[in-house]
Amino acid sequence: MESFKIIIDGKECEAYPGETVLEVAERNGIAIPVFCYHKELRPEGACRVCLVEVEGAPRLVTACTLKAMPDMVVRTNTERVRKARAGVIELILNNHTLECPICDKSGECELQMTGFRFGPKKSRYKEPRREKDIVIKGPLIEIDNDRCILCRRCIRMCGENMGNRVLGILNRGYKAYISPFNGDFVESGCEHCGSCVDVCPVGSLLDRAFKYKDRPWRMEKTWTTCSFCGSGCKVEIDTYHGKVKRAVGRIGINDGHNRGYLCVRGKWGWDVIYSDKRLNSPLLRENGELKKIAIDEALEVLKENVLGKRANLFIESSLTNEELEKIASVFGTENVASDAYGYYQFLSGIAEVTGEFKTDPISSIYETDVILYIGDFLEEINPVVSTLLRLAVIQKGKRLFRVGTFPSKLDSVSFSSLTVPQWELIDTLKHLIVGTIDTNYSSNVKEVDSFIKALRGKSVTIVVGGTVFFSPDSKDLGKTVAYLSDRFSRSSIIAVPPKANSLKVAELFELKHPKELDGEVNVIFNAEIERDFPGVKIDESKFTVVFTSFYTHDLSYADLVIPIETWIEKEGTLKGISGTLKLNTALEYNYKLLDVLSSLPSGTVEVKEKRVEVKKEPGVSRIKREEILLTVLINRTGWNSVSYYSSNVSRVLGERVLLLNPKDFSGEGMALLKTEAGEVIVPTKVDEGIPEGHAVLRVERLTRDVSQIVPEFPFLSGIKCSLKEA
């Protein structure tokens, strides 16, 4: 892209086609104040505080909307500009309540800083200040409209970037104020990602968990990686005197692959470390009861009862690389079960076609013409990755195609979407395989043929995620996706992991199905059996050691329990979707998993590159058409059971409900849901968005009753079920 020169305040600056004067000035260290502008939002030119003077122009113009042109001469600090800028700030301050001493935004408020630097020295306003006195309190977010400057950042962020359209302006003129459309955050469909709070330039949108808790300038700021799901988002944890006060994404400043975007778990789930279910001492079972013991005694019991015996390892895949490698050196890599098993199967399927057991980084979505997303409910399991796909379309002009079974929020920005029954997903991809090469091929389905035509000849990034890793077709889908990828002129495959370090677990260990484990003792690392291994039953007759941060149901049969830290209290690395991700902390915790493992005798681990027999052929669907196929979906608030331990997140829990197509089940009420493994009574709701022959059971967490209806780990999707009114 050829650049050109423009002059700003006498300085020759290099500019590129499509850039605004504001963007050029920012890159060259020239300060122009802004309120409505944000680098992650489309320019709007509403607040008028970025006015500049352009040589030859009759009026002042907004730098945020003015496109740079060759040989343009711009002045940002003339008397005319300063006077206009100060006038705009004075008008904003006239009716902005001056609550800086008590406002949580004080110290990082853009109006406060801009007013000091560019505003008038004193106000000429004599009339009484108009007070809106409209405060809207949601479970986690509060809007104080007395402080609002109507920049509309929150509205644009929620509507354009997040696709939620929860916020809007009600009334007109000086009576205008920001509100959820239904007057209530929950009823308006708010996902509580906190992006509106992050981009608010003043103290109008507030984090209620942080309100009146501390001052921004007093807190120690530590950048770390959220490991509540596989997105691996970079997040700032603010602490004061060793106590966490809040988590902040810093949209537009954050240099992580998530660019500052968070979900409800990453924004508000930090308080799990203060849960009343937190475990703070080792426990040993004596005479049928768990009793507190010292850590030294716990280590002796561990060495005496576990070391030297073949152990059944149950590993939750958000542990750090260092912890996983130490586990491998102490216990070995061959008798291991993990919640990453379905993801491991998918990667194995890819390896059977490509010969490589790997996935490409998330940055690949910006390197090709087209993004092809395959899967369902990515917005629930990996919300931020879903946001990144949306932004690739909105901000980068990429074309998004989607193939799945259920409707998706991504459909609103997709160039084309194919919704097919679960049992036809792999066959649909086979149509794409043939059609992208053979220009004369027809699938005899109009929608599929137009989909093929739009993809033909393009460079494609294939993104796979959501519930497909919990399907019986996981491995065969991996084979089919890899085979499809080979058909494009240039392509990459991104397998979005369900947990933060699923990729490392899949690479390091030879994962087995839990029923294949043949050890003498059980060792559970950071996992909850009901949550991470649904449908699996532990052999309680064997000596069982549980490493956990919380009092879980697994403690009912544990013989030895050793507390460990949460991710917020960890140092280390993860192998995530953008490479190596770093964990940092400013917190202290008495019991570190790595310290415990390091005190045990260990050997050396030779990490062998996984090799599979290459068979370049697509997979075959194992899901058969049944009367109804069930998908168990954990809501975005419940993934990793954060809803169980976070008092913040528990305020916005969704309901347990079974969603059904009206042709499959008439009426709403209670139904008896039956599978091969068991049955449970659940409330039902008719939803025309659910395809015929499918059902979605939305739950906050995999509790015992739900876990017990899962016939086969790790399959939470494609489960044969039956229904009757209860």
CATH of residue 18: 3.10.20.740
Residue 70 belongs to a domain: yes
E strand spans, 241-335: 243-248, 283-286, 289-292, 311-315
Residues 62 and 143 in one domain: no
- Model pTM score: 0.95
Residues 498-518, mean pLDDT to the nearest whole number = 95
Share of the chain above pLDDT 70, in %: 99
Per-residue pLDDT at 328 exceeds 80: yes
pLDDT for 346-373, tens place per residue? Answer: 999 999 999 888 899 999 999 998 999 9
Between CA 561 and CA 350 the distance in angstroms is 38
Residues 43 and 131 in one domain: no
Residues 147 and 244 in one domain: yes
Q: What is the pLDDT of residue 650?
A: 94
Between CA 578 and CA 107 the distance in angstroms is 33
Residue 159 gets which letter from DSSP?
Answer: I
Supply 194's token pair.
């906190």
Q: What is the pLDDT of residue 133?
A: 79
End residue of a domain, out of 227, 252, 272: 272
Per-residue pLDDT at 611 exceeds 80: no
Per-residue pLDDT at 95 exceeds 90: no
Domain that holds residue 194: 127-272
Supply 123's token pair.
């106000």
Residue 342 belongs to a domain: no
Q: What is the pLDDT of residue 211?
A: 94
Q: What is the pLDDT of residue 132?
A: 74
Residues 12-18, mean pLDDT to the nearest whole number = 93
Per-residue pLDDT at 72 exceeds 90: yes
Residues 371 and 490 in one domain: yes
Residues 656 and 720 in one domain: yes
Residue 699 belongs to a domain: yes
Residue 502 belongs to a domain: no
Residue 540 belongs to a domain: no
Residues 138 and 266 in one domain: yes
Residues 254 and 190 in one domain: yes
Q: In a 10 Å sphere around its CB, with 0-12 CB exposed, 13-18 middle and 19+ buried, how is residue 726 labelled?
A: middle
Residues 83-103, mean pLDDT to the nearest whole number = 90
Residue 248: give its domain's CATH number: 3.30.70.20
Residues 69 and 133 in one domain: no
Q: Quick check: 283 and 561 in contact, CB under 8 A?
A: yes
Residue 351 belongs to a domain: no
pLDDT for 284-306, tens place per residue? Answer: 999 999 999 999 999 999 999 99
Letter for the amino acid at 104? D
Residues 47 and 173 in one domain: no
Predicted confidence band of residue 275 (pLDDT cuts 50, 70, 90): very high
Residues 6-13, mean pLDDT to the nearest whole number = 94
pLDDT for 385-398, tens place per residue? Answer: 999 999 999 999 99
**Residue 298 is inside which H or E element, if any?**
helix 295-305
Residues 385 and 479 in one domain: yes
Predicted confidence band of residue 182 (pLDDT cuts 50, 70, 90): confident
pLDDT for 117-167, tens place per residue? Answer: 998 888 887 777 777 778 999 999 999 999 999 999 999 999 999 999 999
Residue 381: give its domain's CATH number: 3.40.228.10
Predicted confidence band of residue 489 (pLDDT cuts 50, 70, 90): confident
**Averaged confidence pLDDT in the chain:** 93
Residue 649: give its domain's CATH number: 2.40.40.20
Residue with the bigger pLDDT between 175 and 408: it is 408
Residue with the bigger pLDDT between 611 and 335: it is 335
Between CA 124 and CA 526 the distance in angstroms is 62
Task: Name the pairing type of β-strands 311-315 and 336-338.
Answer: parallel
Supply 535's token pair.
């449908």
Residues 600-622, mean pLDDT to the nearest whole number = 81
Q: What is the pLDDT of residue 639?
A: 82
Residues 650 and 710 in one domain: yes
Q: What are the φ/ψ torsions at residue 142 (nearest 5 degrees)?
A: -125, 140
Between CA 527 and CA 270 the distance in angstroms is 19
End residue of a domain, out of 495, 527, 547: 495
Residue 547 belongs to a domain: no
Please, what sign has the CA dihedral across residues 50, 55, 57, 58?
positive
Please state, as a whole number, how many other Cβ atoms lie within 10 Å of the Cβ of residue 95. Answer: 17
Residue 439 belongs to a domain: yes
Between CA 474 and CA 589 the distance in angstroms is 39
Residues 92-117, mean pLDDT to the nearest whole number = 91
Residues 419-446, mean pLDDT to the nearest whole number = 92
Q: What is the pLDDT of residue 1?
A: 66
Residues 376 and 468 in one domain: yes
Q: What is the pLDDT of residue 255?
A: 94
End residue of a domain, out of 16, 49, 77: 77
Q: What is the pLDDT of residue 276?
A: 95
Count of domains for the chain: 4
Residue 160 gets which letter from DSSP?
Answer: I
Per-residue pLDDT at 490 exceeds 90: no
